[in-house]
Structure 1
């Protein structure tokens, strides 16, 4: 995979939030769009759509990893303190959930962000290295790679 897409009301205000608050690298590659990344080959294309923007729910969020729980707490305190300056609409409380310590915030464009720390050093590749952990629709588990391949081919 190479990229994902999100929308914004105003490119200038959004870029300021991404660079100054989230610490993301941004490059404007088209009049209505910029590319956004944080130290990896995958990037987000942010497209300015103005008032056509439709808010999304929390399930459609972007995760930002930090090195420690203290960094999560610091980012949370900053989000509360700088809420008005950056147009942050909502800031959730930090919590331990699904293997991470994190909090969610809603930015000026109604996009959700999760600032998170994996206490056990969880890496992105671990999702795939661990393999399937849940049963198929018929209740059986994926027990062999060839069974998984057959299931994917017939889907």
Structure 2
């Protein structure tokens, strides 16, 4: 088992960096931590998980909505107001499809597509969490991901306040195989939501990844990946040796080269469902 210290970041590919940053910061309450040509790192003020956005140009492939990320608001009324705000500002933000709010998997949600063709969900689990026994299910990932509410004055004039960056998504061709890999190889918590969906999370946080059965799903570049942190560069190298020697038996579909840069080290790999991951330290 790889002894990871956290789910540190998720990576998204876009077509035009500035167009996507405008949506992420002005519609979803992300704050920019750093930017360099073709790449930016963002963070929601209430969430430890970082979002790294990579610009790939107009040739970047369109993404299906089942590959999406999500932020959470407190009330269903906020979801309705978010939907109205997105519709009213669709041209300004160069948005794609905007779905009318619906109930699904215990959430009242609005889905929309940002200019880089990536799907985003604005979700609310207020009804799901009314009973404590229900709220505690699935590693409590549907309860609040924040210790204190982000005040409206920090995100004024929209009628809704994203309180946390809660989840991303992955695909699987065999949930039992994926479950075993995430639990036994990566040391993650895995919770079965339904016959075709599992939730994955690191034991240290509520941030989660929805992994759903998708046959013949497209395989995207390493610009789409989740980063797991480990305690040191030596542990990165040890994990790399393990995957190089026994990766096929463990379920690793592809192993990318080890990268070292001064005090940091990392490498990427693909899991049994061809999703890309990164093991990193010092980055």
Same fold (TM over 0.5): yes
Larger % of strand: which?
A: 2
Once the two structures are overlaid, the 10-residue window that deviates more, 22-31 or 53-62, is 22-31
- Residues 19-53 of structure 1, C-alpha deviation per residue, up to 9 Å, x if partnerless? 11121112333321111222211111101111231
Which residue in the other structure is 2:115 paired with? 108
Runs of 5+ unmatched residues, structure 2? 1-6, 130-134, 142-187, 196-249, 252-283
SS of match in other structure, 2:27: helix
Q: Which of 88, 93, 96 is the aligned partner of 2:95?
A: 88
The reply on whether 1:70 has 2:77 as its aligned counterpart is yes
Q: Which of 28, 35, 56 is the aligned partner of 2:34?
A: 28
Q: 1:99 to 1:30 in 2, by over 3 A?
A: same
TM-score by length of 1: 0.78
SS of match in other structure, 1:70: helix
Divergent runs of 4+, >6 A: none
Does the aligned pair in 1 maintain the 2:139–2:191 contact within 8 Å? Answer: no
Q: Which of 17, 22, 25 is the aligned partner of 1:16?
A: 22
Q: 1:133 to 1:125 in 2, by over 3 A?
A: closer
Q: 1:69 to 1:12 in 2, by over 3 A?
A: same
Deviation at 1:104, TM superposition (A): 0.6
Q: How many residues align structurally?
A: 138
Larger % of helix: which?
A: 1
What CA distance in whole angstroms lies between the structure 2 residues aligned with 1:57 and 1:69?
A: 25
- Residues 103-139 of structure 1, C-alpha deviation per residue, up to 9 Å, x if partnerless? 110111100001100023347842599954667xxxx
